Structure 1
Amino acid sequence: MELRHLRYFVAVAENKGFGVAARLLSVSQSAISEQVRDLEDEVGTALFDRSNRRIGLTAEGEQFLEDARGILRLADQAVENIQRSLRGEVGTLTIGFFTGGTGSFFPQLIKEFRRRFKGVRVQLMEMPPGLQHRALQNGALDIGFTRAVQSVDARVLSSEHFQTEAIYAVLPIDHPLAKRRSILLRDLAQEQFVLNDRKYSPAVADKIFALCAQAGFSPQLGASATNAPGAIALVQAGEGIAILPGGSRLLNNKDVVFVPLADKGATVELVIAWSSQHETPVIRSFLELARKKSRKTDRTG
């Protein structure tokens, strides 16, 4: 039994005749009659009462019609599901992000994607950039909002610039330089620095060391943190000053101030990354929307 048999049978049953069904399906009446006969032979009973001029269903035919319609609906739904999957409209998507690095655009982007792609189950995972890169490679994440991908990972990960963030000095509110509108890194050469562990954010750590070298000094390192909230907490505790990207300003409180660095090149990238090996239509749908969002939100502050 094939779907063709069921479609012919349903067309004849719903249109009360072989001729009308043949015209609707653009096939010959003899072809439909032959296929329906084959179907009746297979199920072992007559499905149509042919004793009258007007074709009608037998009792068995009435029962079979219900089941045939259900099978055809499922078949059509299966095809539609495949088409939706190919268009990236159904499936699952696991997105990595890190605290202090997503700004206000991130929740807006997620909400818009969920609204447009209701058939996609979105899961969000908070994860430092360094760990995101590993998770993208092993398939634990599909998309990562992260920092620039290191060269060792760039062989297997694709990434695109999403946003440019200015870098800020995070100072205690009573620090002598706290009221400056901007600050040069060389003015902080004698300070003790609180930095994020390079293991968790290598791109930012490398950029800070490069800026310090450009300013002519090596930073005095104090306590380290695994993320921006931890670094801010250490500044509050008097452990030193921190250097953080602008997205961390969303975590600001009354005990610290963010002063932009005036040094040339004091910016860092936020990128969107994914594994080409694990790329799916759902990932491509998200990337397309994210790219549109990126063109509207790229900033240097």
Structure 2
Amino acid sequence: MDQAQLKAIVVLSEELHFGRTAQRLGMTQPALSQKVSKVENELGITLFTRAHRRIAVTEVGRIFIAHARSALIEMETAVRMAQKASAGQVGQLHLGFVENASFDVLPKAVSTYRRCFPEVDLRLSEMISSELLEKLLAGRLDIALMRPIKTETELELKRRLVHQEPYVAVLPVDHPLAAASSARIEDLVKLPMIIAAGAKATYLREQFGPLFARVGHDIEVGQEVNQLPAMLSLVSSGIGYALLPKSVTNINVPGVTYLPLATPNVPQAELVAVWRGDETNPAIKYFLSFLPRVDDTHWKVANRSH
């Protein structure tokens, strides 16, 4: 028994006339009669009585038709929801992000996406890049906004550069270097750095380790702390300096100053959107359409081993 047969039975119960029912369904009257008879024969019950050109629904038919009508509504709902899901209009999207993504890229994209796709259950989780990558590979995230850290995996990962910004030196306002218009790495390496702890500092160490080595120094860690507000507070107390993406300058913290870096070839802070190549969630491509796109030709070449 298919949807067309159920619909023929339901419409006939409403019209109680073969001619009007056939016209409403866009078929011939003989074809309609065959559908109804086929259902009755298949079920072994009589749904309609036919006498003196009058049609009536039997008691058994009334019960069957009530459930058939509900089944048709469910089928139509299922089709409609499947179509909406295919268009990314319903479903779930689990997005992971690093802390710095929340300063610029994330709020704009999420605000626009929620407005355009209000029926999608959008879940947000903040983690460090290594954790985001782990969750993504395990299928527990749909998209990650993270730093482009290196990884070895047999799974295909797709990446897109969505944001790029310079680093700034964050110094106490009363430090002698704070009076300058910019800071040189050669001067900063002599000072203790306030840096994130453990794996959270992997990306910064990968970027600045070679630069520090070129000027004959290692990164001298004065204090490790994971939370950005705590890091800025430690800088303001005079414990050391920090190297942070320029977007943190939007945070007004008394006692610190932000200086651009004057040393040539200083690395940029990059933010990438990463998702699995075998992912089938349609919501992913629609969310990606709300993320900025950086001209990443050079980045793809430089990071092809990531």
Query: Would you say same fold, with TM above 0.5?
Result: yes
Structure 2: how far apart are the matches of 1:293 and 1:85? 29
Q: Match of 1:177?
A: 177
Q: Retained in 1: the 8 A contact 2:160–2:293?
A: no
Structure 1: how far apart are the matches of 2:10 and 2:253? 69
Q: Deviations over 1:61-120 (max 9, x none)?
A: 444433222110100111122222222222211111222333234123212212222232
Q: Match of 1:202?
A: 202
Matched, 1:98 2:98: yes
Q: Deviations over 1:37-57 (max 9, x none)?
A: 232344554333422435443
Structure 2: how far apart are the matches of 1:152 and 1:250? 35
Q: Match of 2:276?
A: 275
CA shift in 2, pair 1:50/1:248, >3 Å: same
Q: Match of 2:244?
A: 244
Deviation at 1:3, TM superposition (A): 2.3
- Aligned to 2:107, the other structure's residue is in SS state helix
- Unaligned regions of 5+ residues in structure 2, if any? 297-306
Q: Match of 1:299?
A: none
Q: What is the total number of aligned residue pairs between the two structures?
A: 295
For residues 152-231 of structure 1, the aligned pairs below 5 Å read 152=152, 156-197=156-197, 199-231=199-231
Q: Match of 2:5?
A: 5
> AA paired with 2:282?
P
For residues 60-79 of structure 1, the aligned pairs below 5 Å read 60-79=60-79
Structure 2: how far apart are the matches of 1:61 and 1:169? 80
Q: Retained in 2: the 8 A contact 1:101–1:270?
A: yes
Deviation at 1:204, TM superposition (A): 2.2
For residues 21-40 of structure 1, the aligned pairs below 5 Å read 21-40=21-40
Q: Match of 1:298?
A: none
- Unaligned regions of 5+ residues in structure 1, if any? 296-301
Larger deviation: 139-148 or 25-34?
25-34
State TM-score, norm by structure 1: 0.86
Q: Deviations over 1:229-253 (max 9, x none)?
A: 3432332343211111123334441
Q: Match of 2:290?
A: 289
Larger deviation: 148-157 or 127-136?
148-157
- Aligned to 1:277, the other structure's residue is in SS state coil
Q: Retained in 2: the 8 A contact 1:171–1:241?
A: yes
Instruction: Give percent identity, aligned residues only.
Output: 30
CA shift in 2, pair 1:294/1:36, >3 Å: farther
Structure 2: how far apart are the matches of 1:183 and 1:154? 42
For residues 87-166 of structure 1, the aligned pairs below 5 Å read 87-152=87-152, 156-166=156-166
- Aligned to 2:234, the other structure's residue is in SS state helix
Q: Retained in 1: the 8 A contact 2:164–2:294?
A: no
State TM-score, norm by structure 2: 0.84
- Aligned to 2:238, the other structure's residue is in SS state coil
Larger deviation: 118-127 or 250-259?
250-259
Q: Retained in 1: the 8 A contact 2:192–2:240?
A: yes
Structure 1: how far apart are the matches of 2:127 and 2:24? 57
Structure 2: how far apart are the matches of 1:77 and 1:30? 30
Q: Match of 2:302?
A: none
What RMSD over aligned residues (CA atoms) do the two structures have, in Å? 2.7
Deviation at 1:181, TM superposition (A): 3.0
